[in-house]
Structure 1
Amino acid sequence: MLTQREDVLRVFQDYSGDLQKLSLRDLEEFLRDEQLEEVDRVQQLAMELIERYEPSDTDAEGYSMSIDSFLMYLASAEGSIFHPRQQSLCQDMIQPLIHYFISSSHDTYLMEDQLRGHSSVEGYIQALKRGCRCVEVDCWDGPNGEPIVYHGHTFTSKILFKDVVNALRNYAFKVSEYPVILSTENHCGAEGEDSSQGEATRTTRLTSMRTASIATASDAWPNELWEDLDSDDGCPVLNTDCSSESLFVFGPGSAFIQRQPRCALGLGRLVALLISQHSNFPAVDQTSLFNSTLLLFFRKMKQRLSRELSDCVVYCKSVHFSSFKHSRIHSKFYEIYSFTESKARKHLREAREEFVHHNARQLTRVYPSGLRTDSSNFNPQVMWNTGTQIVALNFQTAGVEMDLNDGLFSQNGRCGYVLKPDVMRMSERRFDPEVPQNREGYQPRSLCFQVISAQQLPKVNIKESSVVDPFVRVEIHGLPLDQAKQETRYIDNNGFNPVWYDTLRFTIHVPELALARFVVEDYDKASRNDFIRQYTLPFSCIQQGYRHIHLLSKDGTSIPPASLFVHVRITNLV
């Protein structure tokens, strides 16, 4: 960290009574007027910051802060642009599943392209470590009847289904305790299910996973239905009918269903414990929320399926889409619709209000076009603007699309679930993403960034004489009316501590859907600018005042100490 900062000294002296230190009263004034901290806790916060960052016993005992301590505070997580409260679980987690955006991966097993790329369980491990809660498993017949996973009818390499299961068991709940959804494409035939190898796979799988039937005779799921789910050995019944819905329990934990208006599936209170008394799972606290649960749905099935795979899977039933009107009249709460990105864009062009209204009632999944053989991604923001819950991306491909995904799911404790805006959860109301001014409670905001400086930006090539000419671009991603970007000037030959003091202003019409992306690039007059670092966060997580932005690499990795120093102000426009 740079220890001599003229930009920070300037702020410090603006609030210091004697230009040497910040008294307790000086710091309180800075926190209240500049950082816009809550007035009723400013004094306590000021005292805590002095105790935490002031190394001098004399200053600490006298409740004053030196310039060095002030810099330490501004460079800390408390001085970050990302609000600390949003880094922990802070949203309502007992809403129906349809009310959440869910971090989702496409062809999770692939590490490279879609035609000849390498398949690996590492794809699942990395996605789960990144907070992904919906992964894909494409199952095919392998040697000796043992299921394999790969991108069928291509030259991509193959991995064993049981290795995928082991990876899920080991990593599914390390980052988040909330449900993992398996989007499963089952191409396994019935021929090999009697083989000894297939039986070994079955045994391995079912000792780790437990399935229970869900009655679908009516839309309501009263608690009494669970009393009938008994078998001779006391284990939950394994349903062998592919048309029925099953909940798939994975690892130590519990599964539950909450009866909701419109019969949606909840992420809420425990209704039924599905772990058998004969299983090896430890006891579970029945007040916990959806702890370590794995949910599955089939996307495509052969005419003659492997019965043992079908027995394990179906929580959501993937159904053909006819029309929004047909869905509104006939759809069941457990049905899910999957669209390619092109089909989803067509619905958005032709019936955007209906699309949003549909997603307030049903689960929808959108995935990349089959033409993206290079594993590139589409812009997920376009689909989030419709309220689509499962927007599947190729996690192995870095770029702005994955930056947006990482940014959206960086909130709420990185649990992989983000509550959708109110206007997208109300099926009794309509919302037009093209005309947000018509929504109830419309409140646009002015967002102003003063980009002050950057610190210790890396070189873009390894030449010793290489020096960057940095500039900053701020992008706003959200509804079409909110999409915008502005840039600072570029600074010649200074990646160590460039200073701008450039002001960029934006108008945000629907803050709940907006993301701010900061990109630092190396200006080049003769060729394309080179990427240096980036950082993306939700509008709702932005802290006002003087803040540091701790920049990330292209693949989202944190590599200190590169940072930006900015001043942020948000005001209401109406």
Structure 2
Amino acid sequence: MSKQSYRVCFCFRRRFKMTVAQAPEDVKNLFEMYSENGLMNADGLHKFLVEYQKEDETTTDDAQKIIDGSKHLPKNGLHVEAFFRHLFSDTNSPLVSLGVHHDMNAPLSHYFIFTGHNSYLTGNQLNSDCSDVPIINALKRGVRVIELDIWPNSEKDDVHVLHGGTLTAPVTLLKCLSSIKEYAFVSSDFPVVITLEDHLTPDLQAKAANMITETLGDILFTPGPEVFKEFPSLETLKKRIIISTKPPKDYTEAKEDKDKENDSKSDKADDEVAMKKVSS
């Protein structure tokens, strides 16, 4: 039973008792089987993991890391409460050892994807630094979508990554791309998507395209001239980096004009057919 104090009306303090879940009897009995003198050391925890949880590949060093990572003293072993908490912690998740167990041959769009937002920010969105370090950390955690906001630098001759319209200090696009290439597949072989929020001039768009092509090289996913009816599968996209961005404004406007022209021609042709039918 622990206690927590709260300030009330700026001058008084009240104390509340906080109930902590107690280990049930079966957990206590299990703890006694693998502990001595009220502590489960690394050897005992290792024995429990192998014998009881059937984690045959676990080592004593792995068990010691669990003890070292516990927030509860002493560090030479786990007491029963710490052992109880470990059983329900993320480090003891029943899903950890399953690995990839779903069918990964469906199109990319059929899956949920671990996605980052403003992946380059080290802090808040107003005045923090931009860096490749948060990107590296995200990739190590298994994030598969990295978002980069790309802007011209002050001289308008290079591409920076920053949160536009704020006081965030920029980082170069080249540095971000190099780090993404190095760390993209440290946690998973499945594809990484780089989402570009593009605020560049046409000249800098061309420069950014060259940077991406030259930096990523063969791992850049570059589809051929064929039109995909659906996205490729995750299995076929392993060890590939995909670029996701909106088409350039000029291209979009030209396409809209062409679509309108085609629609106009189609409507005119339909009208002519209708007139012929009426005349006949």
Return the TM-score normalized by structure 1: 0.28
Seen in structure 2, the aligned counterparts of structure 1 residues 120 and 11 have a Cα distance that, compared at 3 Å, is same
**Which residue type is aligned with residue 133 of structure 1?**
R
1:208 positional shift? 2.8
Matched, 1:266 2:213: no
Conserved? CA contact 2:178–2:215, under 8 Å: no
How far is the alpha carbon of 1:152 from its aligned partner? Answer: 2.2
Shift of 1:163: 0.6
Does residue 237 of structure 2 align to residue 296 of structure 1? Answer: no
The equivalent of 1:93 in structure 2 is: 104
- Counterpart of 1:213, as a letter, is P
Q: Which has the higher helix share?
A: 2
Q: Deviations over 1:506-551 (max 9, x none)?
A: xxxxxxxxxxxxxxxxxxxxxxxxxxxxxxxxxxxxxxxxxxxxxx
Amino acid at match of 2:166: T
Alignment partner of 1:102 is 2:69: no
Give the counterpart letter for 1:265 in structure 2: P
2:210 matched to which residue of 1?
202
Matches within 5 A, 1:36-435: 46=52, 82-85=93-96, 88-142=99-153, 143=155, 145-191=157-203, 202=210, 205-210=213-218, 212-217=222-227, 219=229, 263-268=230-235, 270=236, 290-299=237-246, 301-303=248-250
Q: Is the 8 A contact 1:148 1:161 kept in 2?
A: yes
CA RMSD of aligned residues (A): 4.3
2:23 is aligned with 1:11: no
Q: Which residue identity does 1:291 align to in structure 2?
A: K
Once the two structures are TM-superposed, the CA of residue 94 in structure 1 deviates from its matched residue by 2.0
What percentage of aligned pairs have identical amino acids? Answer: 21
Gap change, CA 1:93 and 1:71, over 3 Å in 2: farther
Shift of 1:84: 4.5
Structure 1 spans left out of the alignment, 5+ residues? 1-6, 23-43, 54-67, 220-262, 271-289, 306-574
Distance 2:110 2:23 in 1: 43
| Offset at residue 122 of structure 1 (A) | 1.6
How many residues in Structure 1 have an aligned counterpart in Structure 2?
A: 192
Q: Which has the larger Rg?
A: 2
Give the direction of change, closer, same or farther, for the CA distance of 1:207–1:98 in structure 2 (3 Å limit). closer
- Displacement after TM superposition at 1:71 (Å): 5.7
Query: Normalized per residue, which structure has more strand?
Result: 1
- State whether residues 144 and 193 of structure 2, in contact with CA within 8 Å, keep that contact through their aligned partners in structure 1: yes
**Counterpart Cα distance in 1 of 2:215 and 2:170:** 24
**CA displacement 1:394-450 (0-9 Å, x = unmatched):** xxxxxxxxxxxxxxxxxxxxxxxxxxxxxxxxxxxxxxxxxxxxxxxxxxxxxxxxx
The CA deviation string for residues 241-282 of structure 1, in whole angstroms up to 9 with x for no partner, is xxxxxxxxxxxxxxxxxxxxxx343213x4xxxxxxxxxxxx
- Give the superposition deviation at 1:212: 2.8
Q: TM-score, normalization: structure 2? A: 0.53
**d(CA) in 2 for partners of 1:117 and 1:136?**
17
SS in 1 for 2:118: coil
Deviation at 1:104, TM superposition (A): 0.8
Deviation at 1:76, TM superposition (A): 9.4
